Structure 1
Amino acid sequence: MAQAYTAETGNGTVGTRPSGPRFRSERWRGDRGIWRRGILLALIAVLVAFLMILHAHIPNRIGNLGSLTETFLPWLGLFVPLILVGALVRRSATALIALLLPLVVWLNLFGGLLTGKSSASGGDLTVATHNVNAGNPDPADTALDVAASGADVLALQELPGGQVAAYEKALAKTYRYHAVEGTVGLWSKYPLSGAAPVDIRLGWTRAMRATVAAPGGEVAVYVAHLPSVRVKMNAGFTANQRDNSADALGEAIAREGLDRVVLLGDLNGTMNDRSLNAVTSQMRSTQGAAGDGFGFSWPAAFPMARIDQIMVRGVEPVSSWTLPRTASDHLPIAARVGL
Structure 2
Amino acid sequence: MGGLPEERTIDTTSVRPTTPRPSSRRSRARTRRLIAVAGLILLVAVICVWVPGLIGTAAAAALPWTGVALAIVAVIALFLARRVLLLLLVPALVWAVAIFPSLPGPGTSPATDATPLTVVSQNVRAHSGGAAASADDLAALDADVIALTELDGDSLTAASAALAEEYPHSYAIGTVGVWSRFPIDDAVPLTLGLDWKRALRVSVRTPDADVAVYVLHAASVRPGQQHDRDMMLEGIAQAVADDEAGSIIVVGDFNAASADPALSAVRSRLDWVRPTDGTLGMTWPAALPLVRIDHVFVRGLDVHSSTTRRAGNSDHLATVTSVSVGIRDADSAPGP
TM-score normalised by the shorter chain: which range applies? 0.7 to 0.9
Distance in 2, Cα, partners of 1:194 & 1:291: 34
Written as runs of structure 1 = structure 2, the 5 A alignment for 1:66-215 is 66-88=56-78, 91-110=80-99, 117-118=106-107, 124-215=116-207
Q: CA deviation at 1:281?
A: 1.6
* Structure 1 residues 247-277: Cα deviation after superposition (integer angstroms, max 9, x where no partner): 2222211111211110011111123111232
Gap regions ≥5 residues in structure 2: 1-9, 326-336
2:293 to 307, 310, 329: 307
Conserved 8 A contact 1:283-1:313: yes
Conserved 8 A contact 1:317-1:337: yes
Distance in 2, Cα, partners of 1:154 & 1:331: 14
Distance in 2, Cα, partners of 1:147 & 1:59: 38
Distance in 2, Cα, partners of 1:268 & 1:9: 75
Q: CA deviation at 1:112?
A: 8.0
TM-score for both structures, normalised by structure 2: 0.81
Q: CA deviation at 1:107?
A: 3.8
Written as runs of structure 1 = structure 2, the 5 A alignment for 1:1-339 is 36=29, 37-53=31-47, 55-56=49-50, 58=51, 60=53, 64-88=54-78, 91-110=80-99, 117-118=106-107, 124-231=116-223, 235=224, 238-287=225-274, 290-339=276-325
Query: Kindly tell me: are residues 222 and 59 of structure 1, through their superposed partners in 2, closer, same or farther at Cα, counting changes over 3 Å?
Result: closer
Query: Kindly tell me: are residues 59 and 312 of structure 1, through their superposed partners in 2, closer, same or farther at Cα, counting changes over 3 Å?
Result: closer
Between the aligned residues of both structures, percent identity stands at 33
Q: CA deviation at 1:100?
A: 3.2
Distance in 2, Cα, partners of 1:228 & 1:115: 26
Q: CA deviation at 1:70?
A: 1.9
Distance in 1, Cα, partners of 2:106 & 2:271: 15
Number of residue pairs aligned between Structure 1 and Structure 2 = 305
Distance in 2, Cα, partners of 1:71 & 1:239: 14
Paired letter, 2:91:
P
Q: CA deviation at 1:33?
A: 7.6
Q: CA deviation at 1:137?
A: 2.2
TM-score for both structures, normalised by structure 1: 0.80
How large is the RMSD of aligned CA atoms in angstroms? 2.8
Query: Kindly tell me: are residues 172 and 46 of structure 1, through their superposed partners in 2, closer, same or farther at Cα, counting changes over 3 Å?
Result: same
Which has the higher Rg, Structure 1 or Structure 2? 2
Query: Kindly tell me: are residues 217 and 49 of structure 1, through their superposed partners in 2, closer, same or farther at Cα, counting changes over 3 Å?
Result: same
Structure of greater relative contact order (alpha carbons < 8 Å, 6+ residues apart):
2
Distance in 2, Cα, partners of 1:163 & 1:53: 41
Paired letter, 1:99:
L
SS in 2 for 1:287: coil
